[in-house]
Amino acid sequence: MAASLAQDRIDRLSGIGFKWSLKECWDTRFQELLKYKAKHGDCDVSTKKGKLGQWVGHQRSTYKTDSLAQDRIDRLDSIGFKWSLKEAALPWETRFNELVQYKAKHGDCNVPVKQGQLGKWVSTQRTAYMAGSLAQDRIDRLNNVGLKWAMIDPIVPWETRFNDLVKYKVKHGDCDVPQRQGKLGTWVNTQRTNYKKDNLSKDRIDRLNVIGFDWTPPTGRSRKRKAPPSTRMQSSSRQMRVSSPSTNVKSVSVVAGASDVKLNGVKGKGFDSEPSLPLQIPSKRSDCNLGTESDDEVDEIGALIYDHAMRRKQFPMK
């Protein structure tokens, strides 16, 4: 092979490790691949990973064009070489079992699409379900493990969000939920937007006015609150105080003619008050520090305050 090459050139090439036989070069790379597999557990060397990666890519290319010698194919097969990097589709049952394991670990079946093959499989099940092409037995099995067919949150009734706002006011003293503060903040902003566009019913406007909803919240500390629309209830000059019959009862005094509600010295802004009916809120403590109320107590206080305001609206005192 090297007969026509000058000896000095042969010597110089040999001196730098030049391989005169292509077979010898192939064998060298094959040995490198064996070491790679021993270290990484597979033969999937990236083509970007130096000469070995390029060599591995070349083996796949020549295999696809039927130009790779059979003995080399056999040797590569013997070490588990993959001729295609595309992952074979796993049986439906296998992916389902993976989903069951995922739920046991995470508590739900909401596998992100970006989270590998299982996420893509879950997305495929939803797509097939929406298209009506998913077998009923598979639908039943996925229902049994609690798979949600739609990731969009269900629409929460207006009444539910309103009740959440009443609780918020009892706890914080106003209805100015920041828009960035979750779904209630988004809902509050939507009410203001619909009001400005005249798309909010009078009944809902009235109910929001009753709890002192601010249609134009202040943007700075020095800005004064604007009064609610003209549909707000007219307050009376009468004031009724309710005393507690025992040390285990909290009393709520709704001061008419003011826009504040006082709960044993704790001031909550924005209520449009009417002359109050006796309103008593049971409690195991003698104080009324809203900042430390439990969720159940806040729910109870909010419900009673709103019920009281609505009764005053329906049955105004003469």
* The pLDDT value given to residue 67: 87
- Same domain (yes/no): 163, 302: yes
Q: Quick one: pLDDT at residue 100?
A: 96
Q: Looking at the domain assignment, is residue 87 inside a domain? A: no
**pLDDT class for 316, splitting at 50, 70, 90?**
low
Mark whether 312 and 189 lie in a shared domain.
yes
With beta carbons less than 8 A apart as the criterion, state whether 130 and 136 touch: no
97 and 58 within one domain? no
**Is pLDDT at 268 greater than 70 in this prediction?**
no
Q: Which residue has the tokens 């005393």?
A: 243
The answer to the question of residue 237 being in a domain is: yes
Q: Does residue 242 register a pLDDT over 50? A: no
Mean of pLDDT over the chain? 74
Are residues 46 and 168 located together in one domain of the fold? Answer: no
Residue 284 is given by DSSP the state: S
Question: Is the model more confident about 283 or about 78?
Answer: 78
152 lies in a domain?
no
Which pLDDT value is given to residue 154? Answer: 65
Q: Which residue has the tokens 């500390």?
A: 221
128 and 200 fall within a common domain = no
Domain count, the chain: 3
Q: Based on the domain organization, do 265 and 185 belong to the same domain? A: yes
Alpha-carbon distance of 103 to 311, in angstroms, equals 48
Predicted confidence (pLDDT) at residue 296 exceeds the cutoff of 80: no
- DSSP, collapsed to helix, strand or coil, labels residue 244 as coil
Let me know whether 173 and 244 are in one domain: yes
Q: Does 22 map to a domain?
A: yes
Query: Is residue 2, in this structure, part of any structural domain at all?
Result: no
- Whether the predicted model's global pTM rises above the 0.85 cut: no
Identify whether 113 is part of a domain.
yes
Q: Are residues 191 and 288 in the same domain?
A: yes
Residue with tokens 């909803």: 213
In angstroms, the CA 273 to CA 285 distance is: 26
Q: According to the model, what pLDDT value does residue 181 have?
A: 77
* 238 vs 312, more confident: 312
150 assigned to some structural domain: no
202 and 65 share a domain?
no
pLDDT of the residue at 210: 95
Cα–Cα distance for residue pair 97/93, rounded to 1 Å: 6
Say how far apart CA 83 and CA 76 lie, in whole Å: 9
Local confidence band at 21 (pLDDT 50, 70, 90 cut-offs): low
- pLDDT for 214: 93
Q: Residues 98-125: what's their mean pLDDT?
A: 90
Do residue 246 and residue 222 come from a single domain?
yes
The whole domain housing 68 covers 7-78
- 21 phi, psi to nearest 5 deg: -115, 130
At residue 237, the pLDDT reads 36
Answer yes or no: is pLDDT of 230 > 60. no
Between 44-58, 84-98, 183-197, 267-281, the lowest mean confidence (pLDDT) is in 267-281
Q: Are residues 194 and 61 in the same domain?
A: no
Q: Is residue 177 part of a domain?
A: yes
Could you tell me if 291 and 277 are in contact, meaning their C-beta atoms sit under 8 angstroms apart? no
What are the pLDDT digits (tens) for 49-103? 788 999 999 999 888 888 889 999 999 999 989 888 765 667 899 999 999 999 9
pLDDT tens, residue by residue, 141-183: 999 999 998 876 667 789 999 999 999 999 999 999 998 777 8
Tell me: pLDDT of 273 over 50.
no
Percent of the chain clearing pLDDT 70 (strictly above):
61
Q: Are residues 199 and 258 in the same domain?
A: yes
- CA 73, chain centre distance (Å): 49
